[in-house]
Amino acid sequence: MRSSGGLRLPRAAYPLGLSVCLLLYVAYIKWHWASGAQALLSITEVASGGRGGQRTRIPPAMAPLSHQAFYGIMFDAGSTGTRVHIFHFSQRPGETPTLKRETFKALEPGLSAYADDIEKSTLGIQELLDVAKQDIPFNFWKATPLVLKATAGLRLLPGEKAQKLLQKVKEVFKASPFLVRDDCVSIMNGTDEGVSAWITVNFLTGRLENPGSRNVGMLDLGGGSTQISFLPRSEDTLQAAPPGHLTALQMFNRTYRLYAHSYLGLGLMSARLAILGGVEGQPAPDGKELVSPCLPPSFRGEWEHAEIAYRIAGQDTGSLHELCANRVSSVLHNQVHRTEEVKEVEFYAFSYYYDLAADVGLIDMKKGGSLLVGDFELAAQYVCRTAEVRPLSSPFACMDLTYISLLLQELGFPRSKVLQLTRKIHNIETSWALGATFHYIESLGRQKSLAS
């Protein structure tokens, strides 16, 4: 009991029976909060809907009087690395959750690198699990869902190899103290990756809180795939969308119809291989050197992609940028769908979009910033001209910038379009992981509501 600092009554003024009741009540309160996870509302009950949504009823004695804490752990098994995102949420009953903080750690290489030696994959997974154990209070462990979603790296592997890797991860997860369900490990559908990233950026910018606000679009460029997602307002966009480019999403008791698509093989690393003339998952015939007009004329070296080493070289045949643009255009020809409405939607771009822009000084390395789509083209022209006369820190700079510039234009973005580039919003990573965590928790809540 907390004293208000005001008038105190003499102890003699308390009847014996009231004193006993007060002692019992204080003892109950101490036991109640010491129980931690036992007194904690389960994750599925906390997040099973937004405002006005269906949620499991909390007994009056258990109803929290203030914000209730809960956690979620999402492993992102990408093509170039494995990352763990540990989210700490807070929520008042009947309200949309708020995100208090995120703990993030990444390891290289990606999970797919262990396709031929799956036992080695467990070391990195265990190291990242230890981060979660240190970050989350132990009395929350049993109620915290643990999930791994793999992206393009595993989507590009033969099915049997990918499944063996996932089964090994699941074994490690099952031995952990966290909440692990049968669907805890999976290969993420490319469209779901884009949708989850859309949830993340709109949640962090507050657009999901206000149904009347204009949502923002999302552009993600990974190593093996690239995604675009936005909420169309034009009927023309809905009518013209090819099969597989529209998807329905339930989030915080609302349904969204999104334009969302993932292009497998058009992530930056896979695109490099295509531009070089290689084939995904196959070494060059007889170790043949891959020659490309997108590499500096005097360059010769090796490049490794998906555990395969390639011998690569530039060619001295004229204007580097012009020849590279022609080569990139041939790779992108008829590979992506162009939408007119992207001109009118505010877009956030991250991953390799951010990294390449920061590398050449278009945005601040730590803070990010905004730029025009045409800035990528200007940077490509400058870097390609420079590469013709002297070595660069990366032999791929001309190729990568040219690819990004032409990819955006193929998607329908004019050179004058402004993009927001960021790694974090409110100090939270702008990846698909947060959106996927929300989606997973909400699905658990709906399943529990239906079961009850």
pLDDT of residue 211: 65
229 & 304 share domain: yes
Give the contacts of 286 (CB within 8 A, at least 6 positions apart): none
Is 422 flagged in the annotation as binding? Answer: no
154 & 215 share domain: no
Domain boundary among 162, 187, 212: 187
422 falls within a domain: yes
Name the region of 368 (left: φ>0; alpha: ψ -120 to 50; beta: rest): left
Q: In terms of DSSP bridges, do strands 82-91 and 68-77 run parallel, antiparallel, or are they unpaired?
A: antiparallel
pLDDT of residue 97: 84
293 & 411 share domain: yes
The answer to whether residues 392 and 386 touch, using CB atoms and an 8 Å cutoff, is yes
pLDDT of residue 431: 87
Domain boundary among 168, 187, 206: 187
181 & 290 share domain: no
Which two tokens mark 37?
A: 């996870």
Whether the CA torsion 42, 45, 48, 49 is positive or negative: it is: negative
* Residue 312 half-sphere exposure toward CB, CA atoms < 13 A: 23
48 falls within a domain: no
Is 224 flagged in the annotation as binding? Answer: yes
**The tokens 């500096």 sit on which residue?**
296
Is 153 flagged in the annotation as binding? Answer: no
Cα–Cα distance list, 97 to 48, 184, 196 (Å): 10, 22, 16
Q: Classify 144 as helix, strand or coil.
A: coil
290 & 435 share domain: yes
Q: What CA dihedral angle connects 396, 400, 402 and 405, to 10 degrees? A: -160
Instruction: Round to whole Å and give the CA distance between 308 and 410.
Output: 29
The whole domain housing 85 covers 68-187
227 falls within a domain: yes
172 & 222 share domain: no
203 & 311 share domain: yes
pLDDT of residue 56: 30
208 & 89 share domain: no
How many structural domains is the chain composed of? 2
Tell me, what amino acid is at 444? L
- Catalytically annotated residues: 193
Instruction: Round to whole Å and give the CA distance between 218 and 101.
Output: 22
111 falls within a domain: yes
21 falls within a domain: no
37 falls within a domain: no
316 & 444 share domain: yes
* pLDDT tens digit at each of 452 positions of the chain: 333 333 333 333 434 443 444 344 334 333 333 333 333 333 333 333 333 333 333 333 333 446 789 999 999 998 889 999 999 999 888 777 889 999 999 999 889 889 889 999 999 999 999 999 999 999 999 999 999 999 878 888 888 999 999 999 999 999 999 999 999 999 998 889 899 999 999 999 988 877 667 899 999 999 989 999 999 999 999 999 999 999 998 887 788 999 999 999 999 999 999 999 999 889 998 889 999 999 999 899 999 988 799 999 998 777 899 999 999 999 999 999 999 999 999 999 999 999 999 999 999 999 999 999 999 999 999 999 999 988 888 999 999 999 999 999 999 999 999 999 999 998 888 889 999 998 888 877 767 666 76
pLDDT of residue 144: 95
376 & 438 share domain: yes
Instruction: Round to whole Å and give the CA distance between 386 and 402.
Output: 14
Domain boundary among 187, 204, 232: 187
Is 319 flagged in the annotation as binding? Answer: no
Q: What CA dihedral angle connects 365, 367, 369 and 375, to 10 degrees? A: 0
Which residues in 31-59 are b (16+ Cβ under 10 Å) and which e? eeeeeeeeebbbbbbbbbbbeebebeeee
The answer to whether residues 165 and 114 touch, using CB atoms and an 8 Å cutoff, is yes
7 falls within a domain: no
Is 335 flagged in the annotation as binding? Answer: no
Which two tokens mark 93?
A: 């009953």
212 & 293 share domain: yes
Instruction: Round to whole Å and give the CA distance between 342 and 259.
Output: 10
Q: Tell me how far apart the 2 most distant CA atoms of the chain are, in Å.
A: 101
* Residue 349 half-sphere exposure toward CB, CA atoms < 13 A: 28
pLDDT of residue 254: 84
Q: Classify 339 as helix, strand or coil.
A: coil
Instruction: Round to whole Å and give the CA distance between 234 and 239.
Output: 9
Whether the CA torsion 399, 403, 404, 409 is positive or negative: it is: positive
CATH number at residue 95: 3.30.420.40
Name the region of 173 (left: φ>0; alpha: ψ -120 to 50; beta: rest): alpha
62 falls within a domain: no
pTM of the model: 0.77
In 3D space, the residue among 214, 229, 226, 256 whose CA is nearest the CA of residue 348 turns out to be 229
CATH number at residue 291: 3.30.420.150
Instruction: Round to whole Å and give the CA distance between 371 and 379.
Output: 12
171 & 199 share domain: no
